Amino acid sequence: MGEVAKRAARLRELIDEANYRYHVLDDPTIADVRYDALMRELEEIEQAHPELRSPDSPTLRVGAKAQGEFAPVHHAKPMLSLGNAFSEQEVREFVARISTSLGEPAPSFSTEPKLDGLAISLRYEDGVFVRGATRGDGATGEDVTANLRTIRAIPLRLRGDAPKLIEVRGEVFMPRAAFEAFNARARAKGDKPLANPRNGAAGSLRQLDSRITASRPLSFYAYALGAISGWTPAPRHSGVLQQFRDFGLPVCPDVGIAVGAEGLLAYFERIGARRDKLPYDIDGVVYKLDRLDQQEAMGFVSRAPRWALAHKFPAQEQTTRVEAIDVQVGRTGAITPVARLAPVNVAGVVVTNATLHNADQIARLDVRVGDSVIVRRAGDVIPEVVSVVLDERPRDDDGTPLNPPFSMPTSCPVCGSDVVREEGEVAARCTGELFCPAQRKQSLIHFASRRAMDIEGLGDRLIDDLVELGYLSTVADLYRLTLDDFLEMRRRADQRDGTVPETAKGGKVASKWAQNLLDSIAGSRATTLERVLFALGIRDVGESTAKTLARHFGSLDALMSADEAQLLDVPDVGPVVARRIATFFHEAHNREVIAKLRAAGVAWAEGPPQRSTEGPLVGKTVVLTGALSGMSRDLAGDRLEALGAKVSGSVSKKTSFVVAGEAAGSKLEKAIELGVEVWDEARLLDFLDKHAQ
């Protein structure tokens, strides 16, 4: 038991150190997989020996369902609100009042972003987190200790020589990137997304089941002191923030010091200029007298301190009217509905359009033309409709809505191809993948890539210019381009960009690049069926599947005429991929582009179907990961397939074995997790040598 107790203590120490380095120092030293392994080991020890679970154990972050409502918590020191300023003049008046009262012409202030989350108070006794509460009405909040324990940024034990008692005030918030990722996963599963990061943070802390809170990507920054005992804080607020960091409490990295009104306004401008780039939402900045003795001298008025001020930005949410609902077609064919709005100023930007994401989101919101809606703009995110003001919906005298619910189109508004939404998919998509102008650039980039048609020199920028200046409509148009076309395109692009080279101004036109590109395009005319299938860009048809399809059917015509039942006979082609392949070739526009490729002289080797039934690896699925020193992964894959194996790009329970080279990553980790057999390179080479043909 002594060794087990030592190991449990060491695990807690390692996990706490990892949290401190990640959340406070922003300098993580261990990978997530290592962190998870440490946590699992500690959980196993504490399950076997419950007496070893300490009050500050990180395993308590997992959460459980509460037995009832939240208990009230009386704040030993009130959590007061701040006075607001919305103009430069109000800030100058605030500083002038303090200067007059203190007799100091240029007082020093601690400055910080005003986080848009939920204010909370953390109580530590002898360094151990014992209780956490919401602000509530300032005097009494709600006990949300169990939920706060699930937030990794909040230390369960303070570092160093902790006070006998300290209450730390701060903000629980949801980082922007984590919020967007959470909502993307929610939409993919058909769940209701969170309205915005602030609502997400507040709603997460008020869950009676802390397991739900634990699933939410919450973080925390400390910014103020509450009650204290047995400890002397630094004489300045900026010093207290450093003491927080020393205790292992995360503090916003964008805090600062400013002197006088000019310093405060300069800070406001700096943070405002960076607002869209910050990793968290803010709705202003906060100014606090830095010296604690000066704070005490200034005192309070009503429910707010005289020594602090919140300087607010313009609101990021506004109400406007939906004038129309259109759809946009993305570069991958996804159909996105967009609300056309009566112009409204949101956070200093005039907004006329807002995304509605997808059909499910529209159905949840029930957005209709003519509705009054709340629109939000945060950071670089496209403005979105948050909710509908149903009381203001236009209606007939009998209360019937004037406008019907919105329905997604059945044909692409850009190219006229069918729009389909597959079972289990959130997005509806245009099926005219090779033909649709909205998908043109993406199709061309993929078509020309090294593992597809391998057209060297045809990069993204060149494709952008060829498409935007009208030289390419489909991938087949590549094969009708001439030297004059390329030179004319370059001349027009240079004139558009104002970057005409001096040599061109002098009448000398460089053409070698264009001739090299023409030669590369010409060289791609002769290729293989598997490369063509991969180059077509059919969803979920990667190199491995393209190779399997080519061998199974032998010819493109045979594949194009196959129905879903026949496609399901292909090894490792499931119902979803079979449906996508059949849908792609059913679309007349895609077949038309393939006919144009043939007419342009693009040819590929075809032959009888090759359905291997021999070899030591028949029926085996193999995954290659990491770098091999003895041969390329492509060659290793070819040799494994020659022995009957199916080489896959992902690890699953059906994987027979994984070959792991140097710097193998997540695929190796998943193989170990699933108990899949792992070969090193030496074993692979030995096996191939023994079965060399």
CB within 8 A of 204, min separation 6: which ones? 147, 172, 174, 212, 213, 216, 218
Q: Residue 456: how many CB atoms within 10 A of its CB? A: 14
For residue 112, give both structure tokens. 């910080």
Question: Which of 6, 77, 114, 505 is the catalytic position?
Answer: 114
Handedness of CA 223, 227, 229, 235 (dihedral sign): positive
> What is the rounded CA–CA span in Å between residue 347 and residue 648?
48
- At 335, phi and psi to the nearest 5? -95, 120
Residue 505 bears catalytic tag: no
- Cβ proximity of 521 and 600 under 8 Å: no
- Per the CB < 8 A criterion, the answer to whether 647 and 623 are in contact is yes
Q: For the CA atoms of the chain, what is the radius of gyration?
A: 32
DSSP string covering 357-368: -SHHHHHHHT--
Instruction: Copy the structure tokens of residue 446.
Output: 């993929």
For 10, the token pair is 């060491």
Contact 444, 467 (CB under 8 A): yes
Closest CA to 529 of 610, 460, 462: 610
Whole-Å CA distances, 25 to 11, 243, 424:
20, 14, 41
Q: Amino acid identity of 588?
A: A
Inter-residue contact 230 to 164 (CB < 8 Å)? yes
Q: Is residue 656 within 8 Å of residue 620, measured between CB atoms? A: yes
Gap between the Cα atoms of 221 and 24, Å rounded: 9
Extract long-range pairs of 467-475: CB within 8 Å, 24+ residues apart: 467/440, 467/441, 469/493, 472/440, 472/444, 473/437, 473/440, 474/434, 474/435, 474/440, 474/443, 474/593, 474/596, 475/434, 475/443, 475/444, 475/447, 475/535, 475/593, 475/597
Query: Which residues in 118-156 are b (16+ Cβ under 10 Å) and which e?
Result: bbbbbbbbebebebbbbbbeeeebbbbbbbbbbbbbbbb
Q: DSSP for 615-679, please give it.
A: STTTT-EEEEESB-SSS-HHHHHHHHHHTTPEEESS--TT--EEEE-BT--HHHHHHHHHT-EEE
Q: What residues are annotated to the active site?
A: 114
